[in-house]
Copies of this chain bind each other. A is one copy, B any other.
Amino acid sequence: MATGVTQGPIGVFDSGVGGLTVLRALRARLPHESTVYLGDTARVPYGARSAQTVVRYALNNARFLSEAAPIKLLVVACNTASAVALPALSEALEVPVIGVVEPGADAALAASRGGAVAVIGTRGTVQSGAYQRALAARAPDLEVISQPCPLFVPLAEEGWTDDAVAEAVARRYLEGLPGQGVDTLVLGCTHYPLLASTIAGVVGPGVRLVDSAAATAEAVAQRLEAAGALAPAAPAPTHQLYVTDAPEAFARVAARFLGEAPPPPIEVDIGLSA
């Protein structure tokens, strides 16, 4: 990032709506920054794809965002893509690339009081081992327990986040964790913050929940500040949403993830499915 590049928006992509929880944290932490978001709804969910496929999709998304706007930094607001595609993205782009895994790992270590850290996510994220590697690189002796929770994404999209069904599902996945010495739980999927209160109720007050979104927003803020690339307070920032399929379905659930009504998503063909 060239020092003083303060005009371009922050580019953000996810496989779908989940990354809006990261966009929400970014906009809260950096209210003057413009953003451009791509939800790759034509190829969602990434969590079930092979690593090689996810890398191809991530490069395609990054290319689209770079052509759509002079982005000054790219946020990979998708745990699956952050887990496998950061090296390829960093090589392909000239702007900094920040994923959600490393900030999430930093936040987990800051939250832990010496117990084990549990990482929950899609099967793809958990099987990638990305959080496990990021945590081990920072704390080689840390005990890390991983648990895929595939039902959480459809629960969040259905809006069943604080009821008996959500609690029964969360209990099935997570009730064994406190007994295993876990004191910190990383929400390793951008959908999971919507289930945070249910998850917290199941694991109990002895387990701290870590949401990568806020940690990622902080990492972005530090990076922009260090480069002298923070946007000025004026002009007012702009926010653009793109999706690769089914904008109505996206719009229907987006507000729940973003915390406010989103701008109307614009459907784009980014080339892969031509």
Among B154, B160, B246, which residue has its beta carbon within 8 angstroms of that of A50?
B246
Segment among A1-9, A38-46, A87-95, A206-214 that sits at the interface with chain B: A38-46
By beta carbon, the residue of chain B nearest A41 is: B48
A268 within 8 A of partner (CB): no
List, in ascending order, chain B residues with CB within 8 A of A158's CB. 150-151
Q: Is the CB of A49 within 8 A of B151?
A: no
- Interface size of A by Cβ–Cβ distance < 8 Å? 29
Q: Are B150 and A154 in contact (CB under 8 A)?
A: yes
Known: A42-B53, A50-B246, A245-B50. Contact between A168 and B157, CB under 8 A? Answer: no
Give the contacting residue for A273; candidates B41, B56, B169, B249; CB below 8 A: B56
CB distance from A122 to the nearest CB of B (A): 11
A237 vs chain B, min Cβ distance (A): 30
Residues of B within 8 A of A172 (CB): 160, 165
- Chain A stretch 220-264: residues in CB contact (< 8 A) with chain B: 245-246, 249
Instruction: Kindly state whether residue A272 has any CB partner on chain B within 8 Å.
Output: yes
Q: Say yes or no for A110: interface residue by CB 8 A criterion.
A: no
- Chain B residue at minimum C-beta to C-beta distance from A248: B50
Q: What are 20 A-B pairs with beta-carbon distances under 8 A?
A: A41-B48, A42-B43, A43-B43, A48-B246, A48-B249, A49-B245, A50-B246, A53-B246, A123-B249, A150-B154, A150-B157, A150-B158, A151-B154, A151-B165, A153-B154, A160-B172, A165-B168, A165-B169, A168-B168, A272-B272
Binding site for B on A (CB under 8 A): 41-45, 48-50, 53, 56, 123, 150-151, 153-155, 157-158, 160, 164-165, 168-169, 172, 245-246, 249, 272-273
